Amino acid sequence: MLQFLKYVFASFIGVMLAAFFCFILLVGGMVGLISALSTDTPAVTSVKPNSVLHITLEGVVSERLQEDPWSALFDEIKEISIEDIRTAIRIAKSDPNIKSIFIDAKEVEMAPASAEEIRQALVDFKESGKPIVAYAGTYTQNAYYIASVADKVIINSQGMLNLKGLAAERAFYKNTLDKVGVEMQIFKVGSYKSAVEPYMQTSMSDASREQTTEYLQDIWRFQLSNISKSRSIPVDTLHAFADRMLLFQSPESYVTSHLVDTLAYEADVLDLLKAQNGLAKKDKLPMINVTDLVALSTDLTSSSSDEIAILYAEGEIVSESSSVSTDAIVESELIKEIRKLKKNGRVKAVVLRVNSPGGSAYSSDQIWKEVRDLVNVKPVVVSMGDYAASGGYYISVPASFIVAQPTTITGSIGIFGMIPNVSGLTDKLGVTFDVVKTNRFADMPTITRPMSLEEKAIMQAYVERGYKTFLSRCAYSRHTKLFPDELERIAQGRVWSGIKALELGLVDELGGIQTAINKASELSNVTDYKVVGYPRKKDFLSRLMESSQTNTALEQLRENEIVKLFLSSKKNHFAITDFLQARMPEQVVIR
């Protein structure tokens, strides 16, 4: 029997060892396969003569792309990078081997300011005299806005074009919270600070509706004006087209309306590109995509060691301890990058690219201080993306100069805090709490009971003090030197378009990231420089290891607004440093 057990045990160990080695080989094979599919090396080795830069507008747009290594194996949502598209267009403008640009518009999700950034780069490209051709089966609204700059706008013979105006939609949770027995105890300053409204109302307040209407109208007028110039269609006529729900009109009507130039299938478009490049139909059309062109390129614009750094700050502002999002500005990480740039002698100026709806007021203040310190050493120019609101504006105000897109959402100078009272829910579940404390406020703040009037007064005073600090930071950081009481009339948590922000003195100039780079060059008196993005992109292995540790379902759950509130609590007590929030409504969807 003993001999039998010995053989069984030996067999078991053998099987386990074999399984282990098979697992190692499998992982090694997977890594090798992913490396082959998601390598940082370009798929092509050179730009062929008579090439076309192929820009595919598809998926979700972000400021810059850290490619997920697993996306090569699994069919996930595509992401495109504004940074890469801008770089590719700049290279194509001066590369003699690239004769034209082909915009291949598909289903793409982006905010108006992102669309404007790409469109401005294409407008600059047109100075080269090289043609731009745009084609789509279906043009989404922002894709059409970008494509309208093209020399030839083409749509499929059975295609659709969406030009219907802008709408902003918000979700409201009050009825749901009432049903489950959760009361949101809310403290805020600013009649326009509408980020708290989903927890206390069932629809927009008059103030919220007013500010939303105004910035949507600003953005829409701006976009229609640019389409009008590019397509030679009066703005009033474009308004009338939008009211016809163009998406369901015939493709032929798009041509007669001059919204597009012609109907064609994709094969016909490729023949057109060949003809433009001096090729016959039978010839193969050399095309290079954005990723390959950027990977091939080296910065030959300068032999100088001097740099203008672009420091990207994208996402919600959070402290390291409370970070619940993979797409976030983590206080400690951004501060580390700022300090590196301050010490880096090669960096002569910094463009801080802010694309943030705000977040933790405490973390925003810590970043504000570091940006101010950096300004004392070298020029800092802020370039605002889709959003630079509330905390996003907070971290921008110390800059030497602020540039915003006309369609940027900014301002929202206001503060709020929320503490849920879940006693109604716990009562339903039969859960009770009891506490022993040495002092009156020892258990404050807690989510297990309603706050007393005295506790609420303390919290409101705390929020108002935070608001005064925010006002002071904004007032004395701006070149206009507005006093806090003067700034108060345009603060109150109100959101503004970039157009209005310029009129009010909240920003210094309208334009994209190139405008900010030019200003940084001017302020630093540096004309020969390289443009370098920070934080530096991680290598493939680092991205692979980070990606393997991500639980996608969990991350999606964490993005839920209500879940965020509960994740920020520690044993029923909120992380006090993140209690104050300086952010705009996150659930506004502009479409």
pLDDT tens figures, 227-240: 999 999 999 999 99
Q: Which amino acid is at 417?
A: G
The answer to whether the beta carbons of residues 371 and 395 sit under 8 Å apart is: yes
Q: What pLDDT score was predicted for residue 37?
A: 45
Q: Which of 79-93, 171-185, 574-588 has the lowest mean pLDDT?
A: 574-588
136: its two tokens: 């789509």
- Cβ neighbours of 233 (radius 10 Å): 17
Quote the CA–CA distance of 547 and 552 in Å, as a whole number: 10
Please work out, in degrees rounded to the nearest 5, the angle formed at the alpha carbon of residue 426 by the alpha carbons of 424 and 430: 120
The one catalytic residue in 148, 390, 477, 524 is: 390
User: Is 417's pLDDT higher than 80?
Assistant: yes
pTM of the predicted protein model: 0.85
Report helix angle 540-548 to 2-37, nearest 10: 130
80: its two tokens: 């495109």
Residues of the chain with pLDDT > 70, as a percent, come to: 80
Strands (E), 147-209: 152-161, 168-169, 183-189
The answer to whether the beta carbons of residues 319 and 362 sit under 8 Å apart is: yes
Quote the CA–CA distance of 278 and 419 in Å, as a whole number: 67
Helix (H) or strand (E) holding 213: helix 206-231
- Active-site residue, 390 included: yes
- The model's confidence at residue 36, banded by pLDDT at 50, 70 and 90, is very low
- The model's confidence at residue 487, banded by pLDDT at 50, 70 and 90, is confident
Q: What pLDDT score was predicted for residue 489?
A: 86
Q: What pLDDT score was predicted for residue 567?
A: 44
Average pLDDT of the segment spanning 318-322:
70
* Residue corresponding to tokens 């699994």: 74
Quote the CA–CA distance of 368 and 374 in Å, as a whole number: 10
Sign of CA dihedral 225, 226, 229, 233: negative
DSSP assigned state of 442: T
- The model's confidence at residue 591, banded by pLDDT at 50, 70 and 90, is low
Quote the CA–CA distance of 380 and 342 in Å, as a whole number: 10
243: its two tokens: 């009211």
- Cβ neighbours of 475 (radius 10 Å): 20
Q: Who's near 562: CB < 8 A, 6+ residues apart?
A: 173, 177
Q: What pLDDT score was predicted for residue 557?
A: 46
Looking at per-residue confidence, does 46 or 395 come out higher? 395
DSSP assigned state of 377: T
Quote the CA–CA distance of 156 and 139 in Å, as a whole number: 10
- For residue 370, CA distances in Å to 196, 339, 375, 378 come to 29, 8, 9, 12
Quote the CA–CA distance of 552 and 541 in Å, as a whole number: 19
- The model's confidence at residue 175, banded by pLDDT at 50, 70 and 90, is very high
SS3 of 567-591 = HCEECCEECHHHCCEEECCCCCEEC
Quote the CA–CA distance of 329 and 64 in Å, as a whole number: 14
User: Is 494's pLDDT higher than 90?
Assistant: yes
Q: Which amino acid is at 145?
A: Y
Question: Hey, is 230 helix, strand or coil?
Answer: helix
Quote the CA–CA distance of 113 and 504 in Å, as a whole number: 19
Q: Beta 328-330 vs 358-360: how paired, if at all?
A: unpaired
User: What's the mean per-residue pLDDT of the chain?
Assistant: 85
Q: What pLDDT score was predicted for residue 249?
A: 95
Q: Who's near 161: CB < 8 A, 6+ residues apart?
A: 136, 138, 139, 144, 155, 246, 247, 249, 254, 259, 260
Q: What pLDDT score was predicted for residue 305?
A: 87
- For residue 137, CA distances in Å to 25, 118, 251, 373 come to 44, 20, 10, 50
Question: Hey, is 433 helix, strand or coil?
Answer: coil
pLDDT tens by residue, 132-144: 999 999 999 999 9
**Which of 367, 372, 360 has the alpha carbon at shortest distance from 395?**
367
Q: Which of 6-10, 113-117, 268-272 has the lowest mean pLDDT?
A: 6-10
Q: Phi and psi of 519, rounded to 5°?
A: -70, -40
The one catalytic residue in 193, 348, 500, 519 is: 193
- The model's confidence at residue 324, banded by pLDDT at 50, 70 and 90, is very low
- Active-site residue, 304 included: no
359: left (phi over 0), alpha (psi -120 to 50) or beta: left
Quote the CA–CA distance of 519 and 513 in Å, as a whole number: 10
pLDDT tens by residue, 552-590: 444 444 445 444 444 444 444 445 556 678 877 654 445
370: its two tokens: 């570091």
- The model's confidence at residue 71, banded by pLDDT at 50, 70 and 90, is low
Question: For the chain, which domains are there?
Answer: 51-164+245-296 (3.90.226.10), 307-590 (3.90.226.10)
Strand partners, 194: none
Q: Beta 79-81 vs 51-62: how paired, if at all?
A: parallel
362: its two tokens: 């405490």
The answer to whether the beta carbons of residues 336 and 535 sit under 8 Å apart is: no
Quote the CA–CA distance of 69 and 66 in Å, as a whole number: 9
Q: Which amino acid is at 495?
A: V
